[in-house]
Structure 1
Amino acid sequence: MTVWDRPEPPTQPVPLDRERIVAAAIALADEGGLEAVSMRKVAARLDAGPMRLYRYVSTKEELFDLMVDEVQAEMLPEEQPADWREALSALAHRTRRTTLRHEWLADLLGGRPALGPNGLAMTEATLAALDDLADVNTVMRAVETVSAYFIGAIRREIANLRAERATGLSKHDWQRAHGPRVTGLLATGRFPALAKAVYDGTDVDAETTFTTGLDWVLDAVAAKLTRPTA
Protein backbone atom coordinates (compact mmCIF):
# COMPACT_ATOMS: atom_id res chain seq x y z
CA MET A 1 0.00 0.00 0.00
CA THR A 2 1.41 3.37 -0.98
CA VAL A 3 1.36 6.44 1.23
CA TRP A 4 -1.45 7.86 -0.93
CA ASP A 5 -3.63 4.80 -0.28
CA ARG A 6 -3.07 4.76 3.48
CA PRO A 7 -5.65 6.74 5.48
CA GLU A 8 -4.43 9.51 7.74
CA PRO A 9 -4.78 9.19 11.54
CA PRO A 10 -7.65 10.97 13.30
CA THR A 11 -7.19 14.67 14.04
CA GLN A 12 -5.14 15.41 17.14
CA PRO A 13 -5.35 18.41 19.50
CA VAL A 14 -2.43 20.02 17.62
CA PRO A 15 -3.48 20.02 13.91
CA LEU A 16 -1.26 17.88 11.73
CA ASP A 17 -1.75 16.23 8.36
CA ARG A 18 0.32 15.11 5.39
CA GLU A 19 -0.26 18.38 3.57
CA ARG A 20 1.31 20.40 6.38
CA ILE A 21 4.14 17.89 6.77
CA VAL A 22 4.96 18.00 3.06
CA ALA A 23 4.80 21.81 2.95
CA ALA A 24 7.25 22.03 5.86
CA ALA A 25 9.59 19.48 4.24
CA ILE A 26 9.57 21.38 0.93
CA ALA A 27 10.35 24.64 2.73
CA LEU A 28 13.32 23.00 4.45
CA ALA A 29 14.56 21.50 1.16
CA ASP A 30 14.20 24.83 -0.66
CA GLU A 31 16.35 26.43 2.04
CA GLY A 32 19.04 23.78 2.43
CA GLY A 33 18.59 20.89 -0.01
CA LEU A 34 17.49 17.35 0.71
CA GLU A 35 20.17 17.00 3.39
CA ALA A 36 18.24 19.61 5.39
CA VAL A 37 15.17 17.37 5.50
CA SER A 38 14.70 14.93 8.36
CA MET A 39 11.69 13.83 10.36
CA ARG A 40 13.13 15.62 13.39
CA LYS A 41 13.61 18.92 11.55
CA VAL A 42 10.17 18.74 9.91
CA ALA A 43 8.60 18.03 13.30
CA ALA A 44 10.44 20.96 14.87
CA ARG A 45 9.18 23.30 12.15
CA LEU A 46 5.63 22.13 12.86
CA ASP A 47 6.12 22.30 16.64
CA ALA A 48 5.22 18.61 16.89
CA GLY A 49 6.89 15.53 18.30
CA PRO A 50 8.92 13.58 15.70
CA MET A 51 7.12 10.32 16.48
CA ARG A 52 3.81 11.88 15.52
CA LEU A 53 5.06 12.31 11.95
CA TYR A 54 5.55 8.57 11.58
CA ARG A 55 1.79 8.10 11.96
CA TYR A 56 1.40 10.01 8.69
CA VAL A 57 4.61 9.19 6.81
CA SER A 58 6.43 5.91 7.50
CA THR A 59 9.88 6.73 6.09
CA LYS A 60 11.90 9.63 4.74
CA GLU A 61 11.68 7.99 1.29
CA GLU A 62 7.88 8.24 1.50
CA LEU A 63 8.27 11.88 2.46
CA PHE A 64 10.46 12.48 -0.60
CA ASP A 65 7.81 10.81 -2.80
CA LEU A 66 5.17 13.13 -1.37
CA MET A 67 7.41 16.17 -1.90
CA VAL A 68 8.05 15.27 -5.53
CA ASP A 69 4.36 14.72 -6.20
CA GLU A 70 3.50 18.04 -4.60
CA VAL A 71 5.85 20.07 -6.81
CA GLN A 72 4.80 18.04 -9.87
CA ALA A 73 1.55 19.97 -9.62
CA GLU A 74 3.59 22.92 -10.92
CA MET A 75 4.42 20.91 -14.05
CA LEU A 76 0.86 19.98 -14.99
CA PRO A 77 -0.47 21.78 -18.06
CA GLU A 78 -3.39 24.11 -17.48
CA GLU A 79 -4.65 23.05 -20.88
CA GLN A 80 -3.48 20.07 -22.90
CA PRO A 81 -1.73 21.25 -26.10
CA ALA A 82 -3.19 19.75 -29.26
CA ASP A 83 0.24 19.17 -30.80
CA TRP A 84 2.45 16.40 -29.38
CA ARG A 85 5.63 18.38 -29.92
CA GLU A 86 4.26 21.38 -28.08
CA ALA A 87 3.12 19.10 -25.25
CA LEU A 88 6.55 17.51 -24.75
CA SER A 89 8.36 20.82 -25.15
CA ALA A 90 6.09 22.46 -22.58
CA LEU A 91 6.65 19.56 -20.17
CA ALA A 92 10.42 19.91 -20.51
CA HIS A 93 10.37 23.66 -19.92
CA ARG A 94 7.95 23.39 -16.98
CA THR A 95 10.15 20.72 -15.42
CA ARG A 96 13.20 22.97 -15.83
CA ARG A 97 11.47 25.99 -14.32
CA THR A 98 10.11 23.94 -11.42
CA THR A 99 13.53 22.47 -10.69
CA LEU A 100 15.15 25.90 -10.76
CA ARG A 101 12.63 26.91 -8.08
CA HIS A 102 13.19 23.70 -6.11
CA GLU A 103 16.81 22.69 -6.81
CA TRP A 104 16.57 19.59 -4.60
CA LEU A 105 14.22 18.11 -7.20
CA ALA A 106 17.21 17.55 -9.50
CA ASP A 107 18.43 14.86 -7.08
CA LEU A 108 15.13 12.95 -7.36
CA LEU A 109 14.32 13.29 -11.06
CA GLY A 110 14.52 10.16 -13.17
CA GLY A 111 14.09 7.56 -10.43
CA ARG A 112 11.35 5.00 -10.18
CA PRO A 113 7.97 6.62 -10.84
CA ALA A 114 5.95 7.34 -7.74
CA LEU A 115 2.21 6.76 -7.84
CA GLY A 116 0.99 10.09 -6.54
CA PRO A 117 -1.97 11.88 -8.14
CA ASN A 118 0.04 14.66 -9.76
CA GLY A 119 2.71 12.31 -11.10
CA LEU A 120 0.08 10.02 -12.59
CA ALA A 121 -1.78 12.97 -14.12
CA MET A 122 1.44 14.25 -15.69
CA THR A 123 2.29 10.82 -17.12
CA GLU A 124 -1.23 10.42 -18.49
CA ALA A 125 -1.15 13.84 -20.15
CA THR A 126 2.26 13.14 -21.69
CA LEU A 127 1.34 9.74 -23.12
CA ALA A 128 -2.05 11.00 -24.32
CA ALA A 129 -0.31 13.67 -26.40
CA LEU A 130 1.26 10.95 -28.57
CA ASP A 131 -1.38 8.24 -28.24
CA ASP A 132 -2.70 8.35 -31.81
CA LEU A 133 0.66 8.85 -33.52
CA ALA A 134 2.32 5.46 -33.18
CA ASP A 135 2.13 2.09 -31.46
CA VAL A 136 2.41 2.10 -27.69
CA ASN A 137 6.03 0.90 -27.61
CA THR A 138 7.16 3.67 -29.95
CA VAL A 139 5.27 6.22 -27.86
CA MET A 140 6.92 4.99 -24.66
CA ARG A 141 10.40 5.09 -26.20
CA ALA A 142 9.72 8.60 -27.50
CA VAL A 143 8.69 9.84 -24.06
CA GLU A 144 11.66 8.10 -22.42
CA THR A 145 14.07 9.65 -24.93
CA VAL A 146 12.80 13.19 -24.47
CA SER A 147 12.68 12.77 -20.68
CA ALA A 148 16.23 11.42 -20.60
CA TYR A 149 17.42 14.52 -22.46
CA PHE A 150 15.74 17.15 -20.35
CA ILE A 151 16.40 15.42 -17.02
CA GLY A 152 20.11 15.15 -17.86
CA ALA A 153 20.25 18.75 -19.06
CA ILE A 154 18.47 20.03 -15.95
CA ARG A 155 20.75 18.07 -13.62
CA ARG A 156 23.83 19.49 -15.39
CA GLU A 157 22.48 23.03 -15.08
CA ILE A 158 21.76 22.59 -11.37
CA ALA A 159 25.21 21.06 -10.83
CA ASN A 160 26.78 24.13 -12.44
CA LEU A 161 24.73 26.46 -10.25
CA ARG A 162 25.80 24.56 -7.15
CA ALA A 163 29.45 24.70 -8.25
CA GLU A 164 29.19 28.46 -8.71
CA ARG A 165 27.86 28.88 -5.18
CA ALA A 166 30.40 26.47 -3.68
CA THR A 167 33.39 28.17 -5.33
CA GLY A 168 32.08 31.72 -5.48
CA LEU A 169 33.06 31.78 -9.17
CA SER A 170 30.61 32.39 -11.97
CA LYS A 171 31.07 30.54 -15.25
CA HIS A 172 33.02 33.45 -16.72
CA ASP A 173 35.06 33.92 -13.52
CA TRP A 174 36.03 30.24 -13.69
CA GLN A 175 36.98 30.57 -17.36
CA ARG A 176 39.17 33.60 -16.63
CA ALA A 177 40.81 31.83 -13.67
CA HIS A 178 41.72 28.78 -15.76
CA GLY A 179 42.27 30.64 -19.03
CA PRO A 180 46.09 30.72 -18.91
CA ARG A 181 46.35 26.96 -18.37
CA VAL A 182 43.82 26.19 -21.10
CA THR A 183 45.55 28.55 -23.50
CA GLY A 184 48.90 26.85 -22.84
CA LEU A 185 47.45 23.40 -23.43
CA LEU A 186 45.78 24.45 -26.67
CA ALA A 187 49.00 26.02 -27.89
CA THR A 188 50.64 22.58 -27.92
CA GLY A 189 48.51 21.62 -30.92
CA ARG A 190 47.43 18.37 -29.28
CA PHE A 191 43.79 19.40 -28.99
CA PRO A 192 42.75 20.91 -32.34
CA ALA A 193 39.03 20.13 -32.02
CA LEU A 194 38.93 21.60 -28.52
CA ALA A 195 40.83 24.67 -29.70
CA LYS A 196 38.26 25.22 -32.45
CA ALA A 197 35.45 24.97 -29.92
CA VAL A 198 37.13 27.40 -27.53
CA TYR A 199 38.13 30.02 -30.09
CA ASP A 200 35.36 29.74 -32.68
CA GLY A 201 32.38 28.48 -30.71
CA THR A 202 29.57 30.78 -29.57
CA ASP A 203 28.88 30.95 -25.85
CA VAL A 204 25.13 30.89 -25.12
CA ASP A 205 23.08 30.97 -21.93
CA ALA A 206 21.66 27.89 -20.21
CA GLU A 207 18.11 28.37 -21.47
CA THR A 208 19.23 28.66 -25.10
CA THR A 209 21.39 25.55 -24.74
CA PHE A 210 18.44 23.67 -23.21
CA THR A 211 15.99 24.76 -25.89
CA THR A 212 18.34 24.00 -28.78
CA GLY A 213 19.09 20.49 -27.53
CA LEU A 214 15.41 19.85 -26.88
CA ASP A 215 14.51 20.90 -30.42
CA TRP A 216 17.10 18.51 -31.84
CA VAL A 217 15.76 15.61 -29.76
CA LEU A 218 12.19 16.41 -30.77
CA ASP A 219 13.28 16.47 -34.44
CA ALA A 220 14.68 12.96 -34.05
CA VAL A 221 11.53 11.75 -32.30
CA ALA A 222 9.36 13.28 -35.04
CA ALA A 223 11.14 11.12 -37.62
CA LYS A 224 10.24 7.98 -35.65
CA LEU A 225 6.62 9.05 -35.19
CA THR A 226 6.07 9.67 -38.90
CA ARG A 227 4.16 6.72 -40.27
CA PRO A 228 5.70 5.30 -43.47
CA THR A 229 3.68 5.92 -46.62
CA ALA A 230 2.31 2.90 -48.42
Structure 2
Amino acid sequence: MTVWDRPEPQTRPTPLDRKQLVAAAIALADEGGLEAVSLRKVAARLDVGPMRLYGYISTKEELFDLMVDEVYAEILPGEQPGDWRKALHTLAHRTRRAALRHEWLADLLGGRPALGPNALAVTEATLASFDGVADVETVTRAVETVSAYFTGAIRREIANLRAERATGLSDRDWQRASGPHVMRMLATGRFPALARFVHDGTEVDAEVSFATGLDWVLDAVAAKLARPA
Protein backbone atom coordinates (compact mmCIF):
# COMPACT_ATOMS: atom_id res chain seq x y z
CA MET A 1 0.00 0.00 0.00
CA THR A 2 1.42 3.40 -0.97
CA VAL A 3 1.44 6.44 1.25
CA TRP A 4 -1.40 7.88 -0.84
CA ASP A 5 -3.59 4.86 -0.12
CA ARG A 6 -3.31 5.13 3.66
CA PRO A 7 -5.65 7.55 5.42
CA GLU A 8 -4.11 10.21 7.61
CA PRO A 9 -4.60 9.90 11.38
CA GLN A 10 -7.53 11.65 12.95
CA THR A 11 -6.92 15.21 14.05
CA ARG A 12 -5.24 15.47 17.43
CA PRO A 13 -4.96 18.42 19.81
CA THR A 14 -2.10 19.87 17.72
CA PRO A 15 -3.30 20.08 14.09
CA LEU A 16 -1.02 18.27 11.67
CA ASP A 17 -1.31 16.79 8.19
CA ARG A 18 0.91 15.39 5.45
CA LYS A 19 0.87 18.68 3.58
CA GLN A 20 2.55 20.37 6.55
CA LEU A 21 5.12 17.57 6.76
CA VAL A 22 5.91 17.90 3.08
CA ALA A 23 6.21 21.69 3.24
CA ALA A 24 8.64 21.43 6.16
CA ALA A 25 10.68 18.72 4.42
CA ILE A 26 10.89 20.70 1.17
CA ALA A 27 12.05 23.78 3.08
CA LEU A 28 14.81 21.72 4.71
CA ALA A 29 15.83 20.19 1.37
CA ASP A 30 15.84 23.57 -0.36
CA GLU A 31 18.17 24.85 2.36
CA GLY A 32 20.54 21.90 2.65
CA GLY A 33 19.73 19.15 0.15
CA LEU A 34 18.22 15.75 0.83
CA GLU A 35 20.87 15.01 3.45
CA ALA A 36 19.32 17.80 5.53
CA VAL A 37 15.98 15.98 5.63
CA SER A 38 15.26 13.62 8.52
CA LEU A 39 12.09 12.82 10.41
CA ARG A 40 13.70 14.32 13.52
CA LYS A 41 14.44 17.62 11.75
CA VAL A 42 10.99 17.76 10.15
CA ALA A 43 9.40 17.15 13.55
CA ALA A 44 11.54 19.87 15.12
CA ARG A 45 10.51 22.35 12.43
CA LEU A 46 6.86 21.52 13.09
CA ASP A 47 7.41 21.60 16.87
CA VAL A 48 6.09 18.06 17.40
CA GLY A 49 7.66 14.84 18.62
CA PRO A 50 9.31 12.65 15.95
CA MET A 51 7.08 9.67 16.77
CA ARG A 52 4.07 11.78 15.84
CA LEU A 53 5.17 11.69 12.20
CA TYR A 54 4.92 7.91 11.94
CA GLY A 55 1.15 8.20 11.85
CA TYR A 56 1.54 10.01 8.54
CA ILE A 57 4.55 8.36 6.91
CA SER A 58 6.35 5.08 7.55
CA THR A 59 9.80 5.86 6.11
CA LYS A 60 11.92 8.75 4.87
CA GLU A 61 11.53 7.31 1.37
CA GLU A 62 7.78 7.87 1.61
CA LEU A 63 8.48 11.45 2.61
CA PHE A 64 10.69 11.84 -0.47
CA ASP A 65 7.84 10.45 -2.62
CA LEU A 66 5.49 13.06 -1.19
CA MET A 67 8.05 15.83 -1.73
CA VAL A 68 8.56 14.85 -5.36
CA ASP A 69 4.82 14.79 -5.97
CA GLU A 70 4.45 18.25 -4.46
CA VAL A 71 7.02 19.56 -6.95
CA TYR A 72 5.19 17.81 -9.80
CA ALA A 73 2.35 20.23 -9.08
CA GLU A 74 4.76 22.94 -10.27
CA ILE A 75 5.62 20.92 -13.38
CA LEU A 76 1.99 20.23 -14.37
CA PRO A 77 1.09 22.54 -17.30
CA GLY A 78 -1.76 24.96 -16.78
CA GLU A 79 -3.54 23.66 -19.87
CA GLN A 80 -3.28 20.62 -22.11
CA PRO A 81 -0.48 21.16 -24.68
CA GLY A 82 -1.68 21.16 -28.26
CA ASP A 83 0.47 18.31 -29.56
CA TRP A 84 3.07 15.77 -28.44
CA ARG A 85 6.08 17.95 -29.30
CA LYS A 86 4.72 20.90 -27.34
CA ALA A 87 3.87 18.57 -24.47
CA LEU A 88 7.38 17.11 -24.23
CA HIS A 89 8.98 20.54 -24.72
CA THR A 90 6.86 21.91 -21.89
CA LEU A 91 7.56 18.93 -19.65
CA ALA A 92 11.33 19.24 -20.14
CA HIS A 93 11.52 22.98 -19.52
CA ARG A 94 9.12 22.97 -16.56
CA THR A 95 11.05 20.08 -14.99
CA ARG A 96 14.32 21.98 -15.43
CA ARG A 97 12.89 25.12 -13.85
CA ALA A 98 11.50 23.09 -10.94
CA ALA A 99 14.90 21.46 -10.42
CA LEU A 100 16.63 24.85 -10.38
CA ARG A 101 14.20 25.94 -7.65
CA HIS A 102 14.58 22.63 -5.78
CA GLU A 103 18.02 21.25 -6.62
CA TRP A 104 17.42 18.07 -4.61
CA LEU A 105 14.84 17.04 -7.23
CA ALA A 106 17.70 16.14 -9.58
CA ASP A 107 18.76 13.41 -7.13
CA LEU A 108 15.32 11.79 -7.32
CA LEU A 109 14.66 11.98 -11.06
CA GLY A 110 15.07 9.00 -13.33
CA GLY A 111 14.18 6.15 -10.99
CA ARG A 112 10.93 4.27 -10.80
CA PRO A 113 7.87 6.19 -12.03
CA ALA A 114 6.42 8.64 -9.52
CA LEU A 115 2.91 7.52 -8.51
CA GLY A 116 1.51 10.51 -6.68
CA PRO A 117 -1.57 12.32 -8.02
CA ASN A 118 0.36 15.27 -9.42
CA ALA A 119 2.95 13.04 -11.11
CA LEU A 120 0.19 10.91 -12.62
CA ALA A 121 -1.52 14.07 -13.89
CA VAL A 122 1.73 15.13 -15.59
CA THR A 123 2.06 11.69 -17.17
CA GLU A 124 -1.57 11.77 -18.29
CA ALA A 125 -1.15 15.16 -19.95
CA THR A 126 2.00 13.96 -21.72
CA LEU A 127 0.53 10.70 -23.01
CA ALA A 128 -2.77 12.30 -24.00
CA SER A 129 -0.88 14.58 -26.38
CA PHE A 130 0.11 11.49 -28.43
CA ASP A 131 -3.50 10.41 -29.00
CA GLY A 132 -3.77 8.98 -32.52
CA VAL A 133 -0.09 9.64 -33.30
CA ALA A 134 1.43 6.19 -32.79
CA ASP A 135 1.02 2.86 -31.03
CA VAL A 136 1.64 2.46 -27.31
CA GLU A 137 5.13 0.95 -27.68
CA THR A 138 6.32 3.74 -29.97
CA VAL A 139 4.93 6.43 -27.68
CA THR A 140 6.59 4.77 -24.69
CA ARG A 141 9.99 4.79 -26.41
CA ALA A 142 9.51 8.42 -27.49
CA VAL A 143 8.70 9.61 -23.99
CA GLU A 144 11.51 7.54 -22.47
CA THR A 145 14.02 8.95 -24.94
CA VAL A 146 13.14 12.58 -24.30
CA SER A 147 12.92 11.99 -20.52
CA ALA A 148 16.37 10.37 -20.54
CA TYR A 149 17.78 13.44 -22.28
CA PHE A 150 16.35 16.09 -20.00
CA THR A 151 16.95 14.07 -16.82
CA GLY A 152 20.62 13.70 -17.69
CA ALA A 153 20.96 17.32 -18.75
CA ILE A 154 19.31 18.56 -15.55
CA ARG A 155 21.51 16.37 -13.36
CA ARG A 156 24.63 17.63 -15.14
CA GLU A 157 23.58 21.26 -14.72
CA ILE A 158 22.78 20.83 -11.03
CA ALA A 159 26.06 18.99 -10.47
CA ASN A 160 27.88 21.91 -12.06
CA LEU A 161 26.08 24.42 -9.83
CA ARG A 162 27.02 22.39 -6.77
CA ALA A 163 30.64 22.24 -7.89
CA GLU A 164 30.70 26.02 -8.27
CA ARG A 165 29.46 26.44 -4.70
CA ALA A 166 31.82 23.79 -3.32
CA THR A 167 34.93 25.27 -4.97
CA GLY A 168 33.94 28.92 -5.04
CA LEU A 169 34.87 28.96 -8.72
CA SER A 170 32.55 29.89 -11.56
CA ASP A 171 32.86 27.95 -14.81
CA ARG A 172 35.05 30.72 -16.22
CA ASP A 173 37.22 30.80 -13.09
CA TRP A 174 37.62 27.02 -13.18
CA GLN A 175 38.59 27.14 -16.86
CA ARG A 176 41.24 29.76 -16.11
CA ALA A 177 42.60 27.71 -13.21
CA SER A 178 42.74 24.46 -15.19
CA GLY A 179 43.78 26.11 -18.47
CA PRO A 180 47.57 25.67 -18.10
CA HIS A 181 47.19 21.95 -17.44
CA VAL A 182 44.86 21.51 -20.42
CA MET A 183 47.19 23.44 -22.71
CA ARG A 184 50.17 21.34 -21.64
CA MET A 185 48.25 18.15 -22.36
CA LEU A 186 47.08 19.39 -25.77
CA ALA A 187 50.63 20.41 -26.65
CA THR A 188 51.70 16.76 -26.49
CA GLY A 189 49.80 16.15 -29.72
CA ARG A 190 48.02 13.14 -28.22
CA PHE A 191 44.58 14.76 -28.37
CA PRO A 192 44.15 16.44 -31.78
CA ALA A 193 40.36 16.16 -31.90
CA LEU A 194 40.03 17.58 -28.39
CA ALA A 195 42.45 20.38 -29.25
CA ARG A 196 40.27 21.46 -32.16
CA PHE A 197 37.21 21.62 -29.92
CA VAL A 198 39.07 23.55 -27.22
CA HIS A 199 40.50 26.10 -29.65
CA ASP A 200 37.52 26.48 -31.99
CA GLY A 201 34.55 25.83 -29.69
CA THR A 202 32.34 28.60 -28.32
CA GLU A 203 30.91 28.85 -24.83
CA VAL A 204 27.14 28.38 -24.56
CA ASP A 205 25.14 29.00 -21.41
CA ALA A 206 23.24 26.16 -19.73
CA GLU A 207 19.77 27.25 -20.83
CA VAL A 208 20.73 27.53 -24.49
CA SER A 209 22.56 24.21 -24.36
CA PHE A 210 19.54 22.52 -22.77
CA ALA A 211 17.10 23.97 -25.30
CA THR A 212 19.30 23.08 -28.29
CA GLY A 213 19.82 19.51 -27.17
CA LEU A 214 16.11 19.12 -26.48
CA ASP A 215 15.21 20.35 -29.95
CA TRP A 216 17.63 17.87 -31.52
CA VAL A 217 16.11 14.99 -29.57
CA LEU A 218 12.58 16.11 -30.45
CA ASP A 219 13.58 16.35 -34.12
CA ALA A 220 14.83 12.75 -33.96
CA VAL A 221 11.60 11.58 -32.35
CA ALA A 222 9.55 13.45 -34.96
CA ALA A 223 11.53 11.79 -37.75
CA LYS A 224 10.92 8.37 -36.21
CA LEU A 225 7.18 9.03 -35.84
CA ALA A 226 6.98 10.20 -39.46
CA ARG A 227 8.31 6.91 -40.81
CA PRO A 228 5.72 4.37 -41.90
CA ALA A 229 5.42 1.40 -39.55
Q: TM-score range by the shorter chain?
A: over 0.9
Aligned residue identity for 1:50? P
Q: Give CA deviations for 1:79-127 in whole Å, capped at 9, x if unaligned.
A: 1111211110011000000000000000000111131100100011111
1:131 alignment partner in structure 2: 131
Q: Does 1:20 align with 2:47?
A: no
Q: Does 1:198 align with 2:216?
A: no
Matched residues in 2 for 1:65 and 1:23: separation? Answer: 13
2:176 alignment partner in structure 1: 176
Matched residues in 2 for 1:175 and 1:48: separation? Answer: 48
When the two structures are aligned, how many residues end up with a matched partner?
Answer: 229
Alignment of 1:1-230 (within 5 A): 1-228=1-228
Matched residues in 2 for 1:179 and 1:52: separation? Answer: 54
- TM-superposed CA distance for 1:190, in Å, is 1.1
Matched residues in 2 for 1:148 and 1:201: separation? Answer: 26
Task: Indicate conservation of the 8 Å contact 1:28/1:36, yes or no.
Answer: yes
Task: Indicate conservation of the 8 Å contact 1:17/1:56, yes or no.
Answer: yes
Deviant stretches of 4+, over 6 Å: none
What's the Cα RMSD here?
Answer: 0.9
Q: Secondary structure at the match of 1:130?
A: coil
Q: Secondary structure at the match of 1:151?
A: helix
- TM-superposed CA distance for 1:68, in Å, is 0.1
Matched residues in 2 for 1:166 and 1:227: separation? Answer: 47
- TM-superposed CA distance for 1:159, in Å, is 0.3
Structure 2: runs of 5+ lacking an equivalent: none
Matched residues in 1 for 2:121 and 2:81: separation? Answer: 15
- TM-superposed CA distance for 1:227, in Å, is 4.6
Q: Secondary structure at the match of 1:103?
A: coil
Q: Secondary structure at the match of 1:89?
A: helix
TM-score scaled by length of structure 1: 0.98
- TM-superposed CA distance for 1:202, in Å, is 1.1
- TM-superposed CA distance for 1:147, in Å, is 0.1
Matched residues in 2 for 1:79 and 1:227: separation? Answer: 29
Higher mean C-alpha displacement, 108-117 vs 220-229: 220-229
Task: Indicate conservation of the 8 Å contact 1:40/1:50, yes or no.
Answer: yes
Matched residues in 2 for 1:115 and 1:84: separation? Answer: 22
Matched residues in 2 for 1:81 and 1:11: separation? Answer: 40
Matched residues in 1 for 2:40 and 2:189: separation? Answer: 57
